[in-house]
Amino acid sequence: MRTKIKNNVSWVGYLDWELETFHGADYSIHNGSSQNAYLIEEGKTVLIDTVWTPHRFGFVENLASEIDLKKIDFIVANHGECDHSGSLTALLDRIPGTPVYCTALGAKSLEGQYGKRGWNLNVVKTGDSIDIGNGKKLVFVEMRMLHWPDSMATYMTGDNILFSNDAFGQHYAVGELFNDKANQCLLRLEAMKYFTNILNPFAPILAKKLDEIAAMNLPIDIIAPSHGAIWRDDPMQIVRLYAEWANAYRENQVTVAYDTMWEGTTQIAHAIADEIRRQSPETVVKVFNIAKSDKNDVMTEVFKSKAIAVGSPTVSNSILSSVAGWLEFLKQLKFKQKKAAAFGCYGWSGESVKQLQKLLGEAGFSVVEESIRPQWKATQDDLAAVPAMVKSLLA
Ligand code: FEO
C-alpha cells in the first residue's frame, strides 16, 4: 500500500498503531506512531528511509507489491537509528549494490549496527545534490545533533518537499497521514512532547539550524518527517513553533512534582499548589506524583512551565529513588531560564531538601532560597513559609 504525497512522491511507511513505548521504554506512546518512508518516482526512483527492524519483511514485501525493487536507483538514509534504517538489511538482501546516500557519520552508524556487509554507501554533506530527472534534484542538509550526530534532511526541488527525518515529527499515528486531517490538539501536544523529550537538549543547535535553513530560502510546500503527520497545511507552522520552543520556552505555568512515603510531602505539594492559585489565579498549576505519573508527559508540563517545585522526603540521608531518577532525566533535557524550589518532610536527619536544591541547580534551574522542610508532618507554622517560597517562584 502507498499513499500519494504529491505528484510522484508516495508514503510507503508503517503506521505503528500498537506501539506503546519508544527508545526501549524511555518514551511513552499514547496515540500510536509511524515510521515514515517515502518513494520518489521521477526519472530516478528513490527511496527515502525505511522502517523499524521488526517490520522489515512486511516493508519490503509492501514495496515489492508497489514497484519492481530493481527499479530503485538509490536509497537515502537520512539517519542511522534503527527505526529508519532497520529494513535496509532485508531490502539490500533483495537489491544488493543499490547505492545508499548518507552522512559520513551515518555510514559509521550503519556499519556499526549492521556490520560491514559490502553495502554501497555514499557519503554526502550539506549542499550536495543529486539529479533525479524531470528537472528535479535532491539536496542534502546535514542536521548534526538533531537529534543524532549523523542526522540529515533531504530537500526535493520542484515539489518543494523537505524530508526532515526526526525533526518536526511526532509519535502520533494519523491514518490519513496529513496534519490537516489530524486532531489539532493532539498534534500540537505530541509535537511538543517529542520536542521536549527528544530535541530540547539540542535546542541551541536547532535554533542555529533553523536560521541556516531559512537563509537557504528554499520554498517549502511540504515537510515530511519520519514520524507522525506530514505537514502540508501551512507547513511552516511547525518551523515557527520550533523557533519558539527552542528559545527557552515558557508559559504562565508552574508544575509541582514530588513523591512521598507517608503523604507528608504530598501535603506540602498541595499547599504550594493552593498558594500559587491564591497569589496568581491566572497561572496554570499542575501537580504530579512522580512515581505514579508518566515521566515524558510530566517533562512536557515542565517544558511549558516558568517554574517548578520538586519534593521528596528524606530517605537514607538522601531522596527517594523515583525523584532521583526523575531529576537525572530533568538534567538531560537541559531546560533553560526556569526557576525551581525544593520541599520535603523528614523524620530524623532531613537531607532531602539540600540534595534536591543541589540537583535542581545542576539541572540548570535557578533555585530559589526558600524551601519547605518540616520534621514529621507539616504544622501550620511550617506551612507559613509557603507564601514566601511561592512569591519567589512567581517573581
Ligand atoms: Fe526516529 Fe532518531 O530516530
Query: What's the CATH number where 318 sits?
Result: 3.40.50.360
CB atoms within 10 A of CB 8: 18
Residue 322 Cα to ligand 1 middle (Å): 27
Boundary-marking domain end, from 245, 278, 295: 245
Ligand 1 contact via 226 beta carbon (within 6 Å): yes
Number of domains within the chain: 2
**Domain identity same for 321 and 221:** no
Residue 83 Cα to ligand 1 middle (Å): 6
Quote the cell numbers at residue 335. Answer: 531546560
**Domain identity same for 10 and 138:** yes
Name the 3-class secondary structure at 144: coil
Helix (H) or strand (E) holding 10: strand 9-11
Residue 72 Cα to ligand 1 middle (Å): 23
Domain that holds residue 323: 254-394
Q: What are phi and psi of 24, to 5 degrees?
A: 70, -120
Ligand 1 contact via 49 beta carbon (within 6 Å): no
Boundary-marking domain end, from 225, 245, 265: 245
Q: What is the pTM of this model?
A: 0.97
**Domain identity same for 230 and 339:** no
**Domain identity same for 222 and 263:** no
Boundary-marking domain end, from 205, 220, 245: 245
**Domain identity same for 143 and 279:** no
Ligand 1 contact via 382 beta carbon (within 6 Å): no
**Domain identity same for 217 and 296:** no
**Domain identity same for 231 and 337:** no
Residue 334 Cα to ligand 1 middle (Å): 19
**Domain identity same for 180 and 281:** no
**Domain identity same for 38 and 117:** yes
Q: Which residues are identified as catalytic? A: 23, 79, 81, 83, 147, 166, 194, 227
Atom nearest to 147 CA in ligand 1:
2
**Domain identity same for 169 and 228:** yes
Ligand 1 contact via 83 beta carbon (within 6 Å): yes
Tell me the sheet residues that pair with 33: 16
Please give the chain's pLDDT, 395 residues, in tens.
Answer: 899 999 999 999 999 999 999 999 999 999 999 999 999 999 999 999 999 999 999 999 999 999 999 999 999 999 999 999 999 999 999 999 999 999 999 999 999 999 999 999 999 999 999 999 999 999 999 999 999 999 999 999 999 999 999 999 999 999 999 999 999 999 999 999 999 999 999 999 999 999 988 888 889 999 999 999 999 999 999 999 999 999 999 999 999 999 999 999 999 999 999 999 999 999 999 999 999 999 999 999 999 999 999 999 999 999 999 999 999 999 999 999 999 999 999 999 999 999 999 999 999 999 999 999 999 999 999 999 999 999 999 99
Shortest-distance Cα residue to atom 1 of ligand 1: 166
**Domain identity same for 233 and 294:** no
